A and B are shown apart, each in its own frame.
Chain A
Amino acid sequence: MLNTETNLPSPDDFYEELVALHRDLTPEQSRQVNARLILLLANHVGDPAVLREAMARARRGIEPAGGDATLPARA
């Protein structure tokens, strides 16, 4: 189960480090760092149920307003 209770020993320190990680980066570069971070952490967690729960929580409340670049195919 996804642990949403405080698990970080020093939350403020972590938060500061997370923000500092992106210092002097363009939004594009930050996205790259974030994507790598997500993959690294996801592999570390490993448990698909926990990952699925985390993904669902991350997505909650966001009304999709985009699309993807594929096109409908009919033949």
Chain B
Amino acid sequence: MASRAPGEPDYQRLAFRYEPMAGRGERRPVIVVGAGPVGLAAAIDLARQGVPVLLIDDDDKLSQGSRAICFAKRTLEIFDRLGCGQRMVEKGVTWNRGKVFVRDEEVYAFDLLPEGGHRRPAFVNLQQYYVEGFLLDCALALPAIDIRWRHRLTGISQDENGVTIEVETPEGTQSLACDWLIAADGARSATRKALGLVSSGRTFRDRFLIADVRMEADFPAERWFWFDPPFHPNRSVLLHQQPDQVWRVDFQLGWEADPIEEQKPEKVMPRLRALLGEAAEFELEWVSVYTFSCLRLDRFRHGRVLFAGDSAHGVSPFGARGANSGIQDAENLAWKLGLVVKGLAPETLLDSYDAERVEAADENILASTRSTDFITPKSEASRDFRDAALDLARDCPFARRLVNSGRLSVPSTYRTSPLTTADRDAFAGPLEPGAPVPDAPIRIGGREGWFLDEVGGAFTLIVFAGQGALPDTDALRPDPLPLDRIVVTPPGQDGDPPLHARAVEDREGLLARRFDAAPGTVYLLRPDQHVCARWRSFDAAAVAAALQRAAGGEIGRC
């Protein structure tokens, strides 16, 4: 059967060489612990700002077995900024639609991206080892990143000046020092344990068989979820396509199931035959049995140690919020830590990482817990209402909106963040301060492109041009903090941008619509493409204040 593309490395089996550390006594600005998706993304984002990063991992391989497959639009947009979005989308299976079946009847279908004019789809499915492999290729191209495999963190201490860690390697134990440490060492975080911290929450009493199956099949590239299907009565099943003719099948087993027995081919094959038909030909690629929990650390910043990804929080996979939210942690942290390391922002800016991402984790945990309550009811009453909703969904539209097979990952809006300036002027539409900005098709320098490719990495001032003269934004000089400036011109007009600004043509008028912008409207964006503040007209003092606020207070004076 067809599998990997010719010439493509086998990311599942790649093993990386151990290399001893050069410059042992040297103190580094940042060490990232864990080369999973989150650690890799954080390291790349920092290195792209010119911050030298040491990335260590206890292992010498990429992700093993059945783990994340669904990567959301926002994550792909972040990968675009990091330089590997296109590869992810080319390799991945693009999907926007999902269907929910009760028994063998379709009761609910959803389209996660019903409108055009976005570069990226709602989701791609891509095995976690590809995601890590493509990120790693990006990281290896950046000289500011130093990667060391088979370096296991075993101890940590910190004071107000820095962090010291103990690292076990094939040649023995050594100490490493840094100013800041990002703990991206996953759900069983050794950093968390070494600091005596505890992540707490709830475990759901259920087990799921996750099987990755290689086969030729003609199911559409959609997320299909069954409650109580004839081929697996009284429980749920999820089917999803991955690249290389691999399909993810997820069977709910119940709490009583024996996790060891259930992984045996003689138990797995009949379950798959019941779904795929007696005649289907397939091979098992990977099988495992999981129990899921929702939990998080109280705080994600502990002095000079910053937790990101699964080390900080955990959710059930229904909703694909684990890796996706972890990548958002990494991007939220990277620009802030970059400014702090360069002395362009006060250390307290990092407290906003904690505030924003703890709130985001709670949002994800809430969504995940609600889905799990529906899939695995936690009481008899909860089961009664679940069964009632499923029954009514057949003929009552309202009940279809109650059916919850996973509410899929969407980015968080930092509405209440100390960095966000609330609207003073009136704006309509779904975009609000603290939200990531939507994409739209544009033209720049005569070629067609996408808005999100033009912003991010630095604070950006966007001015929507119209008939009148452009405001003179040049008076605004937040030196030494870099500020990008973009002038958006209406469709068909390519304006002459003022000094220090680039002109972007809103080629289909969608940008103005999605931003609810009129001529003169001004947006200030953060380096992570979230909205800091916006106004109906340019006001240098207001922009300066919002910028100062979003950069954690005293710009460049620390």
Contacts of B202 in A (CB 8 A): 70-73
Binary CB contact string for chain A from 6 to 47 against chain B (1 if under 8 A, 0 otherwise): 000000000000000000000000011011101110010000
Note all chain B residues with C-beta closer than 8 A to A75. Answer: 187-188, 192, 198-200, 293, 295, 314
Question: Is B392 within 8 A of A36, CB to CB?
Answer: yes
Q: Is A68 an interface residue (CB 8 A)?
A: yes
CB under 8 Å from chain A, chain B span 179-207? 187-188, 192, 198-205
In the assembled complex, the Cα of A73 lies from the Cα of B201 at a distance in Å of 5
Assess A39 versus B392: contact at CB under 8 Å? Given A69-B205, A70-B205.
Answer: yes
Q: 4 tightest CB-CB pairs across the interface, nearest first?
A: A35-B388, A35-B384, A73-B293, A70-B202
B389 within 8 Å of A (CB atoms)? yes
Cβ contacts under 8 Å, B293 to chain A? 73, 75
Asked if A66 is at the interface of the complex by the 8 Å CB criterion, the answer is yes
Is B508 in contact with chain A by the CB < 8 A criterion? no
The verdict on B274 contacting chain A, using a C-beta distance below 8 Å, is no
Provide the bound-state CA to CA distance between A39 and B382, in Å: 12
**A74 cross-chain contacts in B, Cβ below 8 A:** 198-200, 295
Q: In the complex the two chains form, what is the Cα distance from A15 to B5 in whole Å?
A: 69
Nearest CB in chain B: distance from A71 CB, A? 4
Tell me which residues across on chain B come within 8 A of A43, comparing CB atoms: 396, 398-399
- A73 cross-chain contacts in B, Cβ below 8 A: 199-203, 293-295
Contact A40 B396 (CB under 8 A): yes
Residues B198 and A31 in contact, CB atoms below 8 Å apart: no
Tell me, rounded to whole Å, the shortest Cβ–Cβ distance linking B449 to chain A: 44
- CA distance in complex: A5, B398 (Å): 28
CB atoms of A35 and B203 under 8 A apart: no
The interface bits of chain B over 374-386 (1 if a CB of A lies within 8 angstroms of the residue's CB, else 0) are: 0000111110110
Q: Does B280 contact A (CB under 8 A)?
A: no
Which range contains the number of A residues in contact with the other chain? Answer: 10 to 19
Q: How far is B379's CA from A69's CA once the two chains are assembled, in angstroms?
A: 6
The complex places the Cα of A68 from the Cα of B385 at a distance, in Å, of: 15
B558 on the A face (CB < 8 A): no
From known contacts A35-B388, A75-B199, infer whether A70 and B398 are also in contact, taking CB-CB under 8 Å.
Answer: no
Q: Is B539 an interface residue (CB 8 A)?
A: no
Q: Which residues of B contact A38 (CB under 8 A)?
A: 385, 388
Query: What is the total of A-B residue contacts with beta carbons within 8 Å?
Result: 68
The CA-CA distance from A72 to B200 in the complex, in Å, is 8
Q: How far is the CB of B30 from chain A (nearest CB, A)?
A: 25
CB proximity of B16 to chain A, nearest CB, Å? 27
Query: When chains A and B are docked, how far (Å) is the Cα of A34 from the Cα of B383?
Result: 12
Q: Is B111 an interface residue (CB 8 A)?
A: no
Q: Are B204 and A31 in contact (CB under 8 A)?
A: no
A60 to chain B: closest CB distance in Å?
Answer: 17
Contacts of A68 in B (CB 8 A): 378-379, 382
> Within the assembled complex, what's the spacing in Å between the Cα atoms of A63 and B192?
38
Quick check: B295 and A31 within 8 Å, CB to CB?
no
From known contacts A43-B398, A70-B205, A73-B295, infer whether A35 and B387 are also in contact, taking CB-CB under 8 Å: yes
> Is there contact, CB below 8 Å, between B389 and A39?
yes
Q: How far is the CA of A43 from the CA of B401 in the complex (A)?
A: 11
A36 and B388 contacting across the interface, CB-CB below 8 Å: yes
**B109 interface residue (CB < 8 Å to A):** no
CB-CB under 8 A from B201, the residues of chain A are 72-73
State whether the Cβ of B402 lies closer than 8 Å to any Cβ in chain A.
yes
Tell me, in angstroms, the Cα distance from A34 to B188 when the chains sit together: 43
The answer to the question of B391 belonging to the interface, with a C-beta cut-off of 8 Å to chain A, is: yes
B203, A71: Cβ atoms closer than 8 Å: yes
Question: For residue B398, which residues in chain A have a CB less than 8 angstroms away from its CB?
Answer: 43
In the complex, are the beta carbons of A70 and B204 less than 8 A apart? yes
| List of A residues within 8 angstroms of B378 by Cβ | 68-70
Set of chain A residues within 8 Å of B192, measured between Cβ atoms: 75
A39 to B388, CA, bound (A): 8
Would you call B198 and A39 a contact (CB within 8 A)?
no
Q: Are A40 and B203 in contact (CB under 8 A)?
A: no
A residues less than 8 Å from B391 (CB atoms): 32, 36
Interface residues of B in 356-413 (CB under 8 A from A): 378-382, 384-385, 387-389, 391-392, 396, 398-399, 402
A36 vs B202: C-alpha distance in the bound complex, in angstroms? 28
In A48-75, the 8 Å CB interface with B consists of: 66, 68-75
Whether A32 lies near B188 (C-beta < 8 A) is no
State whether B200 touches A40 (Cβ < 8 A).
Answer: no
Q: Are A39 and B402 in contact (CB under 8 A)?
A: yes
**A69 CB, nearest partner CB in chain B, Å:** 5
**B198: A residues at CB distance < 8 A:** 74-75
How many angstroms from the CA of A40 to the CA of B392 in the assembled complex? 8
Q: Please report the C-alpha to C-alpha distance between residue A32 and residue B391 in the assembled complex, in whole angstroms.
A: 10
A35 proximity list for chain B (CB < 8 A): 381, 384-385, 387-388
